[in-house]
Structure 1
Amino acid sequence: MTALELVVLLLRRWYVVAVCALMTLGGALVLLDRPPVYFTQFEVVLLPPKESVNPNTLREDPYGMVPMAGLLVEEYNQGRHPLNMSTTETTLYGEGLDQGVRVRMRNVGNQWLPVYNHPVIDVQVVDPDASRVEEEAARIAQDLDRILERRQDELGVRETSRMSTEMAPEDVVVQEISGSRGRTAGGLALLGGSLTVVAVIWVERLSRARAARRALPLERGRAAERELISQR
């Protein structure tokens, strides 16, 4: 089908074009009128005991803190395991969520072969309310700290040998995520145009098929009539 034939077809099936245009406009009104969401992401780092034999808390630790960080995440999530993505840079709002929290270990591997070699917990919060994001972020950090304290209490760890947590960054930074109206409008226009062309071609083919089915009995009748005449 040439471009001219397509234009003629679109003009002939103008009512299909009109319906598709109204549907695209409705989708644009819904998507472009969506309010922004608010998002924060931070890390909870597990630090080794501050003892004289180990004054530098950033060096490689001998305390096996990665398993403890995994226990904190497991208990906080109550056995629910966040999905492993192909990259650790994925965000909640990037996955289409406008409300929720995610607490997971920092994965330096991939979704098929996760590698957790640092006691770092990744925390994300997204919500339509900015104050709610701040409250949830503070609550999660406190919950993880309380879980760590309780675990060490149960093990009878003395005060000088206790692990601790630290937020990075220390202050929660809340971002407003509103997306790009231009990209959204462009994507909707492209999608709406493609669907319009598909719908017009489908309606045209359906119409031709129905016309062919209606003409088939008439053509058979004419053929039978011609056969009778020839026999006379």
Structure 2
Amino acid sequence: MTIWDLLVTMWRQRVAVLLCAVLSLAVLQAVATEHQVYNGRVSVMFLAPKDAPGNALATTTASLVSMAGVVARMANGPHDAPRTVSAEITLASMGVEQGWSIRQPNAGGQWETRYEDPVLDVRSTGRTLEEAQMSMVVALEQVDAALTQLEDAEQVPQALRIRTELSPEMPAYTMQGGSRMRALAVTAILCAIATGAVALGVDAFRSRPPSRHGSRRARSRRPSRQPVPA
């Protein structure tokens, strides 16, 4: 089929094409609406107690690294945060509109798991700055709750407990927006393809010959001719 044949078919099925055009305009208008999300990020550092050693959970740097991993798993619950190729990928880029994640940075790259620092990478996202901030508060509360639960189970005195510190001191928030021109171009192409497919489908449906069952039913409905009395 040539382009000319397609145009003729679309003109022949112009009612269906018009309906598709109206729907396409609605979709393009929705895509053109500016969509922005906010991403928050902060690091939680685990520090040894200031007083004399006495906390078996924080005797060495390695034990603090292990403790950070346990806290991350407890805070995340049964579902760990999905792994990504790059640590710079935001939650919004992974399709999360509102939520948070807690990860232990992997120094081994994509193919090796190696944790070197007692640090957790905490991130949040939201449709507004307030939503991203609220999600960040929830995530940090989960970290504190998990750490407290672990040290309570070991009956660690308050003076000997692991300390946490944020870096930077306050979570940093950035606004993320997609490319509207690229989204509009892709959407317009998809709408044009869909419109052509609908026109061809409707034309094929209307052009197909009637079925034998339908022809037989039509003949049975014809009135029978009876002789007219003289």
Could you state the TM-score of these two structures normalised by the residue count of structure 1?
A: 0.71
| Paired position in structure 2 for 1:174 | 173
- Give the C-alpha shift of residue 84 in structure 1: 3.1
Rounded to whole Å, the distance in 2 between the matches of 1:194 and 1:212 is 29
Equivalent residue letter for 2:197: V
- Give the C-alpha shift of residue 68 in structure 1: 1.0
| Paired position in structure 1 for 2:76 | 77
Rounded to whole Å, the distance in 2 between the matches of 1:160 and 1:135 is 30
| Paired position in structure 2 for 1:202 | 201
Alpha carbons 2:69, 2:104 under 8 Å: kept: yes
Unmatched tracts of structure 2, length 5 or more? 53-59, 217-230
Moved more, 178-187 or 149-158: 149-158
Q: Secondary structure in 2 aligned to 1:44?
A: strand
Structure 1 residues 22 and 114, CA gap change in structure 2 (3 angstroms)? farther
| Paired position in structure 1 for 2:44 | 44
- Give the C-alpha shift of residue 186 in structure 1: 1.4
Equivalent residue letter for 2:79: R
Rounded to whole Å, the distance in 2 between the matches of 1:138 and 1:100 is 11
Alpha carbons 1:101, 1:125 under 8 Å: kept: yes
- Cα shift readout 1:13-56 (whole Å, capped 9, x = no counterpart): 2222212211111222333336533221232233456699xxxx
| Paired position in structure 2 for 1:57 | none
Rounded to whole Å, the distance in 1 between the matches of 2:149 and 2:190 is 54
State the identity as a percent.
Answer: 25
Rounded to whole Å, the distance in 1 between the matches of 2:192 and 2:47 is 55
| Paired position in structure 1 for 2:146 | 147
Alpha carbons 2:151, 2:161 under 8 Å: kept: yes
| Paired position in structure 1 for 2:2 | 2
Rounded to whole Å, the distance in 2 between the matches of 1:18 and 1:116 is 59
- Give the C-alpha shift of residue 199 in structure 1: 1.7
1:165 paired to 2:164: yes
Rounded to whole Å, the distance in 2 between the matches of 1:30 and 1:168 is 39
Rounded to whole Å, the distance in 2 between the matches of 1:88 and 1:16 is 47
Alpha carbons 1:145, 1:164 under 8 Å: kept: no
Structure 1 residues 141 and 213, CA gap change in structure 2 (3 angstroms)? same
Structure 1 residues 26 and 77, CA gap change in structure 2 (3 angstroms)? same
Alpha carbons 2:68, 2:104 under 8 Å: kept: yes
Alpha carbons 1:48, 1:63 under 8 Å: kept: no
Unmatched tracts of structure 1, length 5 or more? 53-60, 219-232
RMSD: 3.5
- Give the C-alpha shift of residue 139 in structure 1: 4.5
- Give the C-alpha shift of residue 212 in structure 1: 6.2
- Give the C-alpha shift of residue 115 in structure 1: 1.8
- Give the C-alpha shift of residue 193 in structure 1: 0.9
Q: How many residues align?
A: 208
- Give the C-alpha shift of residue 8 in structure 1: 2.0
Rounded to whole Å, the distance in 2 between the matches of 1:30 and 1:7 is 27
| Paired position in structure 1 for 2:91 | 92
- Give the C-alpha shift of residue 192 in structure 1: 0.4
- Cα shift readout 1:162-184 (whole Å, capped 9, x = no counterpart): 54333233322222233232222
